Amino acid sequence: MCFFFSSLHSNFLCIVDSDLSVSVCMLIKTFHKYSGKEGDKYTLSRGELKELLLEELGSYLGSSKDNEAVEKVMNDLDANNDGEVDFTEFIILMGALTVACNDFFLESKRGKEM
Measure the CA–CA gap between 38 and 75, rounded to whole angstroms: 19
Measure the CA–CA gap between 88 and 18, rounded to whole angstroms: 23
Per-residue binding letters, 37-76, with Ca ion (x by CB under 5 A): --xx------------------------------------
Nearer to Ca ion, 79 or 97 (CB): 79
Interacting span for Ca ion (CB under 5 A) from 16-24, 68-76, 78-86, 102-110: 78-86
78 binds Ca ion (CB under 5 A): yes
Closest CA to 43 of 102, 90, 103: 90
13 phi and psi, to 5 degrees?
Answer: -95, 140
Which uninterrupted H or E stretch holds 81? Answer: none
| Smallest distance, Ca ion to C-beta of residue 22, A | 25
Nearer to Ca ion, 78 or 104 (CB): 78
